[in-house]
Amino acid sequence: MKNSKIITALTISHLIIHGSLLGQETVKTTRRTPYKGSYTLNGQIHVNTYGNRENKPITKGFQDYKPSWSKTGNQLVFFRKLVDDPVIAKWKTAIHVINTSGKGLTKLTDGTHTDFNPTWVRNESGRVIWNRKRPGHNSYFVMTTKTTNKPGEERTLTDPVFHTWAYTCLKDGRYLVGTTRPKLGGRGYFLMTDMGEKGKHKFEKIECEYMDKDGILDRISFSPSETKICFEYQKGLNYKFPGRTLYLADFDVKSRTMTNIKAFANAEGKDRWFAYPRFTKDEKAIVFHASPNLYMYYISNGKIMKVSTGQGDYRYPHCQDAPK
């Protein structure tokens, strides 16, 4: 009985601490969910139903990051670290795809570049995009390839001269990017249409209630229906990952406007790493990580539940059939 009371006290203390950090009144204990997804645990990719007991990873031997689940075909695209460095921008990485069963690992880039944050194009099966560092500069440009291509067959999608970072895609073929271009008024967030010629793309500015004027929107993701959007936000323009707040908003594809913007995690901006919000396929919930665990926010009632069950460093969650 005494041990039971101690365990109960520790559990209550754990919930109070996490409730405070998450900016919610309560955070429920770990519970099984109906949602399957992928994530990184201690540098290896796992596929599991959130809230279930931990299983074996589907990758091993390397540090693998940021899996994104395809709309169809049950594939993950991710990047693998091949050359380490204390400065992340100096890593050498390679884009890979793998079946969610753990079979069919395929290398898409040769590993001599700094390639980050791949995702799937929503209007075309088997095509991915990612961000490549411009050699000798602190900027990035967007690349694309087909999963049937070999390393070296990838295509430059945006002009390397101008910093452009791709976040997510729409079913009509447009890409949501952050870019800095004098002709577009400097720094901003845009829907970009690939016109087939490098440097000739069409950029349409996104209205986000002036949040982009004095802060950074990051790790942006559209819901599967493309009527909602979620993202990280930090005040100020100097990148600092801990202390960001996670937001949810309505999104109008035609007017490119965010409305009803509200914080759902870490509204107080406490100094902890909140990141990678991603929708479930039915859009009823958003999974995210708050180091070192995974959590799920339920949109209808505002509740947050811990959905990681093991010990270790959980990061970069994603949901089945719902590319970011």
| pLDDT at residue 10 in the model | 30
CA 291, CA 60: separation in Å to the nearest integer? 22
H helix and E strand count, the chain? 1, 24
Q: What is the DSSP string of 62-104?
A: SEEEEEEE-SSS-EEEEEEEEE--SSGGG-EEEEEEEETTS--
CA 215, CA 86: separation in Å to the nearest integer? 26
Cα torsion 206, 117, 270, 163 to 10°: value is -50
Residue 4 sits in the same domain as residue 36: yes
Residue 169 sits in the same domain as residue 74: yes
**CATH number of domain containing 68:** 2.130.10.120
| pLDDT at residue 205 in the model | 96
Residue 13 sits in the same domain as residue 136: no
Residue 92 sits in the same domain as residue 174: yes
* 155-180 as b/e: b if 16+ CB within 10 A: eebbbbebbbbbbbbbeeebbbbbbe
Tokens of residue 230, six digits: 């979620």
Sheet harboring 115-120: ordered strands across? 115-120, 127-133, 140-146, 155-156
Q: What is the pLDDT along the chain (324 residues), one digit of tens a residue?
A: 334 333 333 333 333 334 444 554 456 667 789 999 999 999 999 999 999 999 999 999 999 999 999 998 899 999 999 999 999 999 999 999 999 999 999 999 999 999 999 999 998 889 999 999 999 999 999 999 999 999 999 999 999 999 999 999 999 999 999 999 988 888 999 999 988 765 689 999 999 988 998 899 999 999 999 999 999 999 999 989 999 999 999 999 999 999 999 999 999 999 999 999 999 999 999 999 999 999 999 999 999 999 999 999 999 999 999 998
| pLDDT at residue 30 in the model | 72
Residue 189 sits in the same domain as residue 91: yes
For the whole model, what pTM was predicted?
0.90
Tokens of residue 220, six digits: 């942006």
Residue 101 sits in the same domain as residue 83: yes
Residue 221 located in a structural domain = no
Residue 175 sits in the same domain as residue 68: yes
| pLDDT at residue 225 in the model | 97
| pLDDT at residue 199 in the model | 60
Q: Provide the residue range defining the domain that includes 143.
A: 63-205
| pLDDT at residue 198 in the model | 59
Residue 4 located in a structural domain = yes
Distances (CA, A) of 215 to 101, 123, 253, 263: 40, 30, 22, 15
Residue 10 located in a structural domain = yes
Question: Strand 228-235 vs strand 274-279: parallel, antiparallel, or unpaired?
Answer: unpaired
Residue 93 sits in the same domain as residue 174: yes
Residue 41 near residue 312 (C-beta atoms within 8 A):
yes
Residue 98 located in a structural domain = yes
Single out the residue of 78, 6, 22 nearest to residue 46, CA to CA.
Answer: 78
Residue 46 located in a structural domain = yes
| pLDDT at residue 9 in the model | 33
Please tell me the total count of domains within the chain: 2
Single out the residue of 107, 205, 94 nearest to residue 147, CA to CA.
Answer: 107
